[in-house]
Structure 1
């Protein structure tokens, strides 16, 4: 029996492949394109567009790691429904779903907004209704966002960390490496179900992140808040106008909140004993 990892060559899936293979488990890397090589894993070309293909991939699997791509919401809704249909048919041993920053509401439904018809909500509710063992990883912001060219260039060349959050705004940042660590544990800890929030607790500010960069690079780095629509505009050629605007709108809405912190009750630190990296630890791990 194997562990199916979606997006196995991407920023989110690749660390999960590494973490699960390091634990000595057989891995099947699920990719959109055939012909790629993933170290330590069998490769299977399958994507979210066909529920039947997904069911064929999931059948007999010990575990499946799922996350939705950055795409227009209507596409993600279709993908979520296909995943749910495939899980119900194939009934893998365990499903671990990362919301990729989407939040799960207190009533158990999830989404990047309040709509019960969001893709995250459909997938969370569908997994809960499937009867298949599952857990939902709920991060807030990814530290890897700070490696975007328009961010890291400012740090290196000007000593300024620019990001689309207000000064002093505290958030629970996590690395893709942290998500992978938690996913690997959740495949083992089938007693843990529902939402597991992943991120730094207490939450940290942009100024705290700038200080971590400054210490690592041995220079002064300050933080500068940037309008979300200006900040994310350079991503439009890669992500598309609709997806980019949706990300910027989400950040704009979050900026009106007091913070974007996980709670101690649902934190990986509490439920699993897994503590996410600090910004300083993450910078050392990626050898910036």
Structure 2
């Protein structure tokens, strides 16, 4: 039986594929391009828009790693419904879903919450990885270019807002562990604990790059205009909405009792470790 990995050529799926392949596991890499080449994996083309293609990919799988792509929320909800329908038909042995930082509270709603609810209804063995904010967000040009060019780290959070940052590499470490741990179910939080503030983040970037870096609070609207050329107007508006809602919260810190540190013994990278690991 194989490990089926969504987004196998993307930022979230590719490190999961790499880790499984390095461990000698049989991997099926799901992509939209049937001609894609993924080292250490068999490639299968399956679109989020096709529950039939998804079901075929999931059939007889030992485990499936799922995350929803960056898209307009209406599309993401369609994809969530299709994934649930495919899981209900194919019934793989295990599913690990990463929320990619999106809320899963049923009272808030949204595609990620729909998928978590659907997993419970389907009744397959599953776990939910819940990161807060991705460190990779800080590689967007409007952030990393400002760090390098003018010693400022702009981001749409308050300076006193603690965040349990995590990287795609951290999520991959947790996903690989959970794929083979059917004894662990429910939500597993991924991120640094204790959480750190924007000025802490800027200080860590400054230490890595050997320069003084200060934190600069920007608005969600400023972020929207910066990322719209990269991900599209609809997705950018959805992201800005998430940050606007986040501004009403006291923090984005994980709870230690359901953390990967406690449940799996997997500790996330420090900012410096992460920057070194990605070669920045």
Q: Normalised by the shorter chain, which TM-score bucket?
A: over 0.9
More displaced, 17-26 or 135-144?
17-26
Task: Say whether the 8 Å CA contact 1:47–1:54 is kept in structure 2.
Answer: yes
Deviations 1:14-57 (A, max 9, x none): 11111221222111110012211111111111111111111111
1:272 aligned residue: 264
* In structure 1, distance between residues paired with 2:191 and 2:77: 26
1:16-95, aligned counterparts within 5 Å?
Answer: 16-95=16-95
Deviations 1:101-155 (A, max 9, x none): 01333xxx4xxxx334x21121101111112111000001000111111111111
2:108 aligned residue: 115
Select the residue among 105, 121, 130 that pairs with 1:138. Answer: 130
**TM-score normalised over the length of structure 1:** 0.94
Name segments (4+ residues, structure 1) moved above 4 Å: none
Unaligned runs of 5+ in 1: none
Task: Say whether the 8 Å CA contact 1:104–1:195 is kept in structure 2.
Answer: no
1:197 aligned residue: 189
1:210-229, aligned counterparts within 5 Å?
Answer: 210-229=202-221
Task: Say whether the 8 Å CA contact 1:63–1:96 is kept in structure 2.
Answer: yes
Deviations 1:135-176 (A, max 9, x none): 000001000111111111111111111111111211110000
**TM-score normalised over the length of structure 2:** 0.97
Unaligned runs of 5+ in 2: none
> Aligned-pair distance for 1:229?
1.0
What's the secondary structure of 1:28's corresponding residue?
A: strand
> Aligned-pair distance for 1:9?
0.7
> Aligned-pair distance for 1:228?
1.3
